[in-house]
A and B are shown apart, each in its own frame.
Chain A
Amino acid sequence: MATTTAPVGVATGTRTSFAAGVWSWITTVDHKRIGVLYGVTAFLFFLIGGLEALLIRIQLARPENTFVSPDFYNQLFTMHGTTMIFLAVMPLSASFFNFIIPLQIGARDVAFPRLNAFSYWVFLLGGIFLNLSFFLGGAPDTGWFGYSNLTSKQFSPGHGVDFWAIGLQVLGISSLAAAFNFIVTIINLRAPGMKLMRMPVFAWMTLVTAFLIILAFPVITVALVFLLFDRFVGTNFYVPASGADPVLWQHLFWLFGHPEVYILILPAMGIVSEVLPTFSRKPLFGYPVVVYSGIFIGFMGWGVWSHHMFSVGLGPIADSFFALTTMLIAIPTGVKIFNWIATMWGGRVELKTAMLFAVGFIAMFIMGGLSGVMHASPPADLQQTDTYFVVAHIHYVLFGGAIMGIFAGIYYWFPKITGRLLDERLGQIHFWLNIIALNVTFFPMHFVGLLGMPRRVYTYAPGLGFDTMNMISTVGVFAIVIATLVFIVNFLRSVRSGETTGSDPWGGATLEWAIPSPPPAYNFASIPTVHSVHPLWEADASDLIKDVNRVRGPIHMPPSSYWPAVAALGIALLMSGMIFGWWFGIPGLLIMLVGLYSWAFEPCH
C-alpha cells in the first residue's frame, strides 16, 4: 500500500466513485494535492473578501449612502482585511509553497506530509469558523488590527471580537505548523548538490517567510491570549480602568504586523524572481544580492513596527528611530527592483501572461514602495495615516504587488499543476483589465486621502470634495470584478479543455520543469544531483531530465491518513467551544486527542 510506481497526477481523473474521490482528497498527504486544496480554498476566500470590498465600495460610491448599515459596514471592512491577509494571500502563497517547493528542491514530498495535511484542514476550518460569525450574531467589527480598548468587553460586548481572536488563533496553528514543515523541508530535503546558494529564489523567499512566521506568530498569539483572557476571564491586560496601557496591544500587534507584511510580499517576490529569468531567457541578475536583500528585509522587518504608530505620540526620538529604520528597508527593496529590471535588460523578453503579471508586479510595487517612503517620514505620515492615502498604499503593495505576483505564479505553474495551459488570449485580457482597473480604483485614493478623507468611515459628508473620486474608485472595483471573472472563466475552461503541454512549456531553468506535467505522485523517479542554480539551462540538462524520470525500483511514499483532518476538526471544535459552549469544547478536546494519538501511533509502512 505504501509503494507506488505508477504516475498519479493530481488532475488526471481516476475512474473511482465520487465518494472515493472525495475521501482520497480528505486523506491525502501528497504535497501537490494539498497545494491544490490550499489554492482552491484560498481563492474562494479571495472571492469572499472581494465581495466584501465590492459592498464597501458601493456604500462609498456616494456621500451619505445607505446601501449598508454602519454596523454591517464595520463588519465588512474588518472581515475584508482579515480575510484577504489570513485567508487569501497567505494561503495562496502556501499553495505555491506546497506544490512547488518539493519540486524545486528535488524532493518527493515535504518533510512531514501528515502535518502538512493537518495545516490545511486547520486553515480551512479556521476560515469557515471566522466567516460563520456573519450568521451568528455579527462578524468582527473592530478592524483587522483590533485596537485595544475598543475590543474590550465594555465596548464590544458581542461575540464578533471573540470570533476574530479565536479564529486568528486557529489560523496561527495552521501557519506555524506549515512554516516549521517548510523550514525542515528546505533545510533537509534538498537534492544532493543543491547548496543553499543554488536554491531557486522562490525557495529562498519561502524559507525567509517561514522563519518570519515562526517568529511573528507567537507574538500575536500572546497578544490574542491576553485579549481572550480579558474578555473571558476578566483579566486586565488592556483595561485602562485597571491601569493597563492599551498601547501595549499596538506594540504587540505591529511587532507581529510588520513582519506579516513581508510574510505577504516575500513569496510574491520569490515568484517574480522565477518568472522574470524564464521569460527573459537570462539568469536572474545578481542572484546572491537578491537573496541577501530578501534576508535583510526579513531581519529589518523586526525593527520598524512603530512606523504604524507615529500618531500615538511616542516622542521625537522614537519617531526618528523608526523613520530611519523604515527608510533603510527601502534600500534592499530598491536593490531587488534594480536586479529584476537588469534581469530583463539584454534578455529576450517574452510577454506571456505570467511575464506580464510579473512586470506589472514590479510597476505597481514601485508605486506602493514610493508612497511607503512618503509615510516613512513621521510628520508627513501624521497627515496621511488613517486616511485613504494609506488605503491606496497598501492596495498597491498587496493587490498590485502580492496578488499580481500570485497571478504571475498561477499562469506560470498552472501547466505544471494540470498539464494544460491557461488560455493566453484570455490571460492577456485579464492582465490588462486588472492593471487598468486597479489603478482606476486605487490611484484616486491617494488624493482623496491627502484631501482629508479618513479610512474606516462608513460614510462621508457631501461638500468635502470626496464625491467624484469615490465614484471613480467604485467604478474601478466593478472593472476588477470583470477582470477576475475573465480569470475564473479562463481557469474553468483551461482546467478541462486547455491546450495540453509537455513537461516544460516555458523553457524553465529549475527542477520542477524536468518532470512530467502533472508530476507523478513521487515527483522524481530518481533524485537528481544538482550542480547549478539553473540546472535545466546547463549543457547536461537532457541527461538530468532522462535521469530523474528513470524508475529504478519501488518508490516508498507515505500512505494517506485521515487522522490529520480528525485532529484539525477536534482543534476547531475545541476552540469554538469558547463561544458555543462546553458541548462543543469537550467533544472537540476528545476528538483532538484521539486524532493526535492515532496519528502519532499510525504505522507509516
Chain B
Amino acid sequence: MRRSPWPGIVCLAAILLGLWVVAHARYSTDLSAFLPSAPDVRQRLLVKLLRDGPASQLLLISIEGADASTRAQLSARLAATLRDQPEFATVANGQTSGIEKDSAVLFRNRYLLSHAVTPERFGVPGLTQAMQEAMSQQGAMLGLTGTELLTHDPTGEMSQILDQLDASGTPHSVAGVWASADGKRALLMARTVASGADQDGQRRAIDIIRSAFGKLRPEIQGASPARLVLSGPAVFADEARQTIQHEVGRLSILSMILIGSLLLLVYRSLRLLLLGFLPVICGALAGITAVALSFSVVYGITLGFGITLIGEAVDYSVYLFVQAGRSGAGIETTGEKSWTKSLWPVIRLGMLTSVCGFASLLPSAFPSLAQLGLYTIAGLVAAALVTRFVLPALLPAAPVFARLGMPTRLLAQVIAALRHARYALMPLALLAIAVLFIYRDRLWNHELSALSPVSAAAQRLDASLRSDLGAADVSDMVVVSGASFDQVLRTSEQVSGRLDGLVSEHDIAGYDSPSRYLPSQATQRARRASLPEQSVLRARVAVAARAAGLKASRLEPFIADVAAARDAPLLTRGDLNGTALATGVDSLLVKLGESWTALLPLRSMGQGEELKSVDAMHLERAISALATSGVKVEALNIKREADALYGEYLHSAIRLSSAGLLAIALLLCVALRSFSRAGLVLLPLALAALSVAAGFALAHHPMNLLHLVGLLLIFAVGSNYALFFDRGATQAGRSIDPLTLGSLLLANLTTTIAFGVLATSKVPVLSALGSTVAPGAILALLFSAMLAGGTARSASAHAHGV
C-alpha cells in the first residue's frame, strides 16, 4: 500500500510558514499580560493608572554600605550625573539644586504662580505685611546673600512658591542628603521621562543609573563597600521581564531534557525520540503562529504556559508508538488499520475534550489567558494531526519495542490492589467536598497582586523605601475628568481647596494636584488682575515700604517687574517645557480617549505599618457638589477598585470554566452515546479536581485565576486517561490491556513532568498552573484506573463500541 506524500508536504509547508510568522511576530514581556483589558472608561482609567500612571515613572534609589558621609557624597554625585541626562525629568536627593533649572521660569512668572497673590496683598496694608514677613523670614540669609533679590521681590513671592512646591513630607536627612529613618542608607528619587508603557525607555533609565553608580564608586574614597539598590514599578517590570524570559527558557529546556530522557529510556531509539518530539514542535509552532496572527503581540508568559503543551502533545506519539510496538512489526502492515480504527478515535476524542476546555479561556478578558487558550488549542490540533497523518509514514519498518514491561506490571499490581479500595473513594470525595465547604470563604485570592510576578521580598523593600521617602504607594486619589484641559485644571483647584480642609482636619496628610504646578487660566487671570497699575503701585509702595523699614526709591525693580507681569501673557503648559513643573503637570493630568483626566493623589496619615486609610465618607463629603456639567469628580481607591475588577474577572472565569466543563460533558455524552459512560469518564476527573482544590484549601493556599484554569485542565488532560480505560472496558471485556496501561503511564509521566517543572517556577502564575495540574494528572490516572473495574462490569452490559 502506497501512502500519499501529501500530508508530509502540507506539514512541511505549514512548518515553513509557521517559522516565518514566528520569526516576524512581536513579543512582549509587558506586565499588562497580568492586567485585564477593561471594557468601560473608569476601568480603562484604572488599568492605565496601574500600567503607566504617575507612579510608574518613579524610581526609588537606595545607597547602602560604606559610611554616612561617603554615601552622601555618592548621592550628591549620582544626582548631579543623572540630572544631566535627558532620560530623567527630576532627580531628588534632598538637595535643592534640581530646582535651579526651573527657578528662572518660577521667578519670571511668580505673580501668576504664587497662591498669595490677591488684590488685598497689593493694597498698602497687604504690601506692608508681606514686606515685613519677607524681611523676617529672609533675615538670616540677608547677611549672607545681600538684598539684591529683595529689591525685585520684596513681598517674597518666590519663597512662597518654593514653599508651595515643597509641601510634601520631607524625608530624614543625614549629611545633607535624604536618608532612611535608621540613617543606614542614602535615598534618592528619580522620575523617568519614559512612561510605564515605554519599557525600553525605562530600561535605559535604569541602566544609566546602574552604570553611573558603577563609574562613581571607584572615584570616591571608601566607596567600595557601597551598594546600589533600585526599586519602583519600572524596576519591577524590568525584573519581571528578565525573570519571565529566563524562566521560559530554563523551564522549556528542563522539561525537554527530562521528558526526552524518559522517552529515550523507554524507546531506546534516538529516531523514535525525535519523531516523538515532531508533533510537539509542530504544535508549538502552530500555537505561536495562531496567537501571533490573532493578537497584536505574543506575551512571553504565553510561551511559559506553552511548556505544558510539551507534556500533552508528546502523549499522542506515545500512544501511537506503543501501539506500533504491540504489532511487533511497526505500524506499517497491519498496524495502521487497527491504529486508525481503534486508537485514533480515542485520541481524537481526548484531544477534542481538551480543546473544549481550553476554548472556554478564549473570551477571557485577561489577554494572557486568552492567548494560553488559543495557543493550546492550535497546538493540540496540530500535534494530533501530525501524529495521525505524518508520523505513521515516518515510523521505522523495523519493530518498535517500547520497554514498559516492568513498571507496567508494577502499576497493574498497584491498581489491582487499589481497585479493591475503590469504595474508599466515596468517603474521599465527601471529605474533599466537606473541606471545600468549610473553607468556602477562603478558597480564592481576590487580590490582583496574587498574579503579580513581583516577589514578596521586592514588594517589602519597595514599601520600606517608600515609607522612608514619604512617597507612599498612592492608593487613594480624587479623579477629575472633563472635555477641556483648562476646565479640568479649574475644577482641580476647587478640589484642592476642599482637600486643604481635610489636611487641616488631619483626615489626610497631604495631596498633590496638577494645579500646584500650573494654575488654571481663570486663576492666573485673577492674579494678574490683582496687580495694580504702575503709578498706583508706586504710591502704595511708598507708604508700605516706609512702614516696613525699606527705602521705596530702591524698590523700582519691583515696580518694573509688576508692571511687566501685568502685560505678560498667561502661563500655558508649553511655557513649562523642560522644567520640573512640566513633569508635575504631565504626570497628574493625562488625556484618556477624548477627555482630560486630572489625578489628585492623597497621602494618608501615619507611616509604614500604621498607615491609616483615608476616610471614604469624609472624602466623598468634601468633594461633593464640585462636579459641574461636563466635569466629573470622583474618589478612587486604586487597590480596592483593581481588586474589585479582578474579582469580577475571577467570577467570569469561574462561569467560563463551568461552561467549558459542560461542553466537555456534552461532547463525551454525544461521542460515547451514553450518559452513564460519560459520567464514569468524568467521575474520576471530578474527584481528582476536588481533591486538588481541597488540598490547596487545607494548605491554606488561596487559589487564583490560574489555579482555576488548572482545575479545568485536570479535566482536559485527564479525559485522555479516562477514555482509554473506558475503551479498555468496552473492548477487552474486563479491563485495560497492559500495553495501553503502559502507554498511559508514560503519557501521564510526561504530563506530570511538564507541569511539575512549571510548578517550580518563580513566576506565580506559572507555578499556580503547574502545582494544580501536576498532582491532578496523577490523581486522574489513578482514580480512572481504580474506577475502571466498575466501568468494565457495568459497561460490558451495554457495550456500544467507540
B and A form one assembly? no
